[in-house]
């Protein structure tokens, strides 16, 4: 801002008005009172005046973004004002960084204009008055910060207590009863339907169309004030016609289910009991079983990694592969790709990518597409049997007792270490230990505590896997019912495989490891191993052995690199 000390300023008063909320207007000095007080001052001085109105503008907004204050500052810089009036310094700014009140004071001081309040004139050229004015500016900023902290703390506590919060647009499936967030039974059925349809292989567009066709209302269809004003800029149609900018008001039946709405619901953890509130997560009533919710998240994530098959000019897909994106080479770690020739059936194979590069072939031969597809699909049909085998192994083995004993041991050690640490701190505070004696012992105790806490968490997670049995089986049951359908098309079968299997590893000797996705949902680690036999001439014999690999961290398997606590031999042909 330019300095106007040498310039004669006009007898013209700028009257600044600001009140941020209606409540402040009712409880404090209203805009009308501020205006009248400023005009009275101008009349008393015998000056002309201009009103700079920032009604309903928060002091936390930068003065450059408040039209009234911005224009006032421009007029001060241009030498159009000889003074300014406001009811208090805190009207100027309540910047949370403490900076803007100081900037405004410096600009007013350098401009040489007079500052008036209902209490009289503030002579900023006087160091004492300037100092007090700057302190008041700091106090205004501090008060705003403390008010924000108190409001946030109250809102967070309210959310923790299960209160629904303000506004009519609660998450779909919930309603407000006596300020509490509770389940809306009718809407909850729709939420459950959306999750079931997605698990069944339906996309978000299909689900949205189904809800619209069946006239299932959206949240905005149901609330009385469900209007939305949409601002649109200037648009141009394909034919060159220009549609001017304007506003469109939507209400009632204008609101339809959209794919983005469905996807947002599928990804919202509130339905599994985790309500996101600012940076916190608080408990909420559960509509969707957490295992089912996590299954859907895995399906959503998988869709990012699987590209659709290319299309020919006729619109038909070219060479669709059931296991695309799932197979890895156990030798070099590269992916397998599908290779098909219409004229020669025997060349239809999944092959390691290393075969494509001269001199880079790792030695893992391809495997028949038809054979591997059938093998994996038959394995998918056995998933319930294999999961039951896992839990049977856990329940009948020594694992439960072992983990309970280890958990108890960890808890006792943690309790003892906490006592030792407390006693160590007491002795140090009493002056019985020097820093040289205290610090190494304290670090030793803290390291041991961290180690034992890690062990405790690990043993708890293993025991929790048994508690998840019913939820896991319920998810599996949803898929097994679909698998029984003999009329499934290619896309439906592929969707089921991708939902249940996270990967397939093939070694040079054609040992095939199929990893279930259960480890992404629970603490269950479950793989299936198949050993494929071949004659000396290279012709395939078929399966010569299969094993169910049940996971805990005890035994490391040489081929997969994973760790298992037991290896269950389903069949082994010698």
Residue 426 DSSP SS3 = helix
Do residue 59 and residue 90 come from a single domain?
Answer: yes
Provide the percentage of residues in the chain whose pLDDT is more than 90.
Answer: 12
Do residue 298 and residue 399 come from a single domain?
Answer: no
CA–CA separation, 237 and 60 (whole Å):
41
Residue 459's CB is within 10 A of a number of other CB atoms, namely: 20
In the predicted model, is pLDDT for residue 406 greater than 90?
A: no
* Residue 118: per-residue pLDDT: 85
Residue bearing tokens 């310094």: 89
Do residue 187 and residue 149 come from a single domain?
Answer: no
Q: Which of 126-130, 182-186, 223-227 has the lowest mean pLDDT?
A: 223-227
| Per-residue pLDDT tens over the stretch 343-399 | 555 678 899 998 888 788 898 888 889 889 999 998 888 888 877 877 777 666 556
Handedness of CA 190, 195, 198, 200 (dihedral sign): negative
Q: Which of 111-115, 320-324, 495-499 has the lowest mean pLDDT?
A: 495-499
Percent helix, percent strand, percent coil in the chain, to nearest 5: 50, 20, 30
| Per-residue pLDDT tens over the stretch 27-42 | 456 788 888 989 999 9
Do residue 71 and residue 190 come from a single domain?
Answer: no
Q: In terms of residue numbers, what domain contains 415?
A: 392-470
pTM value > 0.75: no
Question: Which residue would you say has higher pLDDT here, 474 or 411?
Answer: 411
Most confident of 55-64, 103-112, 533-542: 103-112
Q: In this structure, what DSSP letter does residue 172 have?
A: T
| Per-residue pLDDT tens over the stretch 467-493 | 667 767 777 777 777 787 778 888 888
Do residue 98 and residue 45 come from a single domain?
Answer: yes
Q: Which of 73-87, 493-507, 537-551 has the lowest mean pLDDT?
A: 537-551
Do residue 149 and residue 183 come from a single domain?
Answer: no
Domain harbouring 34, CATH code: 3.40.50.1390
Q: Judge whether 268 and 261 are in contact, CB under 8 Å.
A: no
Name the pLDDT band for 19 (thresholds 50, 70, 90): confident
The pair of three-digit structure tokens given for residue 408, joined into one six-digit string: 């108890």
Do residue 416 and residue 287 come from a single domain?
Answer: no
Residue 215 forms part of a structural domain: yes
Among 429, 454, 470, identify where a domain stops.
470
Domain tally, the chain: 3
Name the pLDDT band for 569 (thresholds 50, 70, 90): very low
* Residue 102: per-residue pLDDT: 82
Question: Which residue would you say has higher pLDDT here, 477 or 440?
Answer: 440
Among 446, 470, 494, identify where a domain stops.
470
Mean per-residue pLDDT of the chain: 76
CA–CA separation, 383 and 528 (whole Å):
10
Helices (H) and strands (E) in the chain, counts: 17, 22
Name the pLDDT band for 336 (thresholds 50, 70, 90): very high
Do residue 182 and residue 227 come from a single domain?
Answer: yes
Q: In this structure, what DSSP letter does residue 255 have?
A: -
Among 450, 470, 490, identify where a domain stops.
470
CA–CA separation, 61 and 93 (whole Å):
8
Is residue 20 annotated as a catalytic residue, yes or no? Answer: yes
Q: Do you know the residue count of the chain?
A: 574
Domain harbouring 250, CATH code: 3.90.1750.20
* Residue 568: per-residue pLDDT: 39
Do residue 188 and residue 153 come from a single domain?
Answer: no
Q: In this structure, what DSSP letter does residue 306 have?
A: -
Across 163-174, average pLDDT: 70
* Residue 185: per-residue pLDDT: 92
Do residue 83 and residue 186 come from a single domain?
Answer: no
In the predicted model, is pLDDT for residue 139 greater than 60?
A: yes
Long-range contacts of 62-71 (CB under 8 A, 24+ apart): 62/95, 62/100, 63/92, 63/93, 63/100, 63/104, 66/18, 68/16, 68/17, 68/18, 69/16, 69/18, 69/93
| Per-residue pLDDT tens over the stretch 208-234 | 888 988 888 887 766 655 454 545 555
Q: Which of 127-136, 395-404, 529-538 has the lowest mean pLDDT?
A: 395-404
């Amino acid at each position: 801002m330019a300095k106007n000390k040498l310039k004669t300023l006009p007898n013209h008063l700028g009257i600044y008005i600001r009140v941020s909320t209606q409540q402040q207007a009712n409880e404090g000095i209203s805009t009308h009172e501020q205006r009248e007080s400023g005009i009275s001052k101008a009349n008393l001085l015998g000056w002309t005046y201009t009103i700079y109105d920032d009604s309903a503008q928060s002091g936390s907004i930068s003065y450059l973004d408040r039209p009234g204050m911005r224009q006032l500052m421009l007029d001060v810089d241009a030498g159009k004002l000889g003074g300014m009036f406001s009811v208090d310094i805190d009207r100027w700014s309540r910047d949370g960084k403490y900076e803007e009140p100081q900037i405004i004071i410096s600009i007013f001081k350098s401009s040489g204009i007079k500052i008036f309040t209902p209490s009289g004139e503030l002579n900023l050229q006087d160091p004492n008055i300037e100092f007090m004015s700057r302190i008041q500016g700091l106090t205004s900023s501090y008060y705003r910060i403390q008010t924000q902290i108190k409001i946030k703390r109250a809102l967070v506590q309210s959310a923790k207590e299960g209160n629904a919060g303000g506004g009519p647009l609660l998450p779909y499936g919930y309603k407000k009863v006596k300020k509490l967030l509770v389940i809306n039974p009718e809407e909850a059925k729709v939420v459950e339907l959306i999750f079931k349809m997605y698990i069944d292989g339906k996309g978000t567009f299909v689900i949205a169309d189904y809800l619209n066709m069946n006239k299932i209302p959206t949240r905005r269809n149901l609330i009385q004030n469900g209007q939305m004003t949409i601002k649109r800029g200037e648009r141009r149609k394909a034919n060159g016609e220009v549609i001017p900018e304007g506003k469109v008001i939507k209400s009632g039946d204008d609101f339809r289910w959209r794919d983005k709405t469905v996807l947002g619901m599928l990804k919202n953890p509130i339905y599994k009991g985790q309500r996101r509130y600012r940076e916190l997560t608080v408990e909420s009533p559960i509509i969707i079983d957490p295992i089912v919710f996590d299954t859907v998240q895995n399906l959503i994530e998988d869709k990012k990694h699987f590209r659709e098959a290319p299309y020919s000019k006729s619109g038909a897909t070219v060479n669709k592969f059931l296991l695309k994106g799932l197979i890895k080479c156990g030798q070099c770690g590269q992916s397998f790709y599908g290779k098909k020739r219409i004229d020669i059936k025997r060349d239809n194979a999944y092959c390691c990518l290393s075969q494509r590069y001269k001199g880079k072939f790792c030695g893992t031969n391809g495997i028949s597409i038809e054979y591997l597809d059938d093998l994996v699909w038959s394995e998918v049909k056995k998933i319930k049997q294999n999961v039951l085998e896992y839990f049977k192994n856990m329940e009948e083995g020594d694992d439960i007792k072992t983990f309970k004993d280890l958990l108890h041991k960890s808890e006792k050690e943690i309790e003892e270490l906490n006592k030792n640490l407390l006693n160590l701190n007491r002795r140090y505070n009493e002056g019985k230990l020097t820093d040289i004696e205290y610090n190494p012992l304290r670090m030793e105790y803290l390291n041991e505590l961290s180690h034992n806490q890690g062990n405790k968490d690990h043993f708890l997670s293993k025991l929790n896997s048994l508690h998840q049995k019913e939820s896991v089986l319920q998810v599996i049951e949803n898929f097994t019912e679909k698998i029984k359908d003999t009329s499934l098309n290619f896309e439906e079968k592929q969707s089921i495989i991708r939902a249940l299997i996270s990967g397939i590893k093939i070694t040079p000797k054609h040992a095939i490891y199929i990893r279930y996705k259960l480890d992404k949902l629970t603490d269950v680690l479950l793989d299936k191993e198949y050993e494929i036999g071949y004659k000396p001439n290279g012709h395939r014999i078929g399966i010569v052995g299969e094993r169910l690999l049940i996971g805990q961290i005890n035994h490391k398997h040489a081929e997969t690199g994973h760790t298992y606590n037991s290896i269950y031999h389903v069949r082994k042909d010698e």
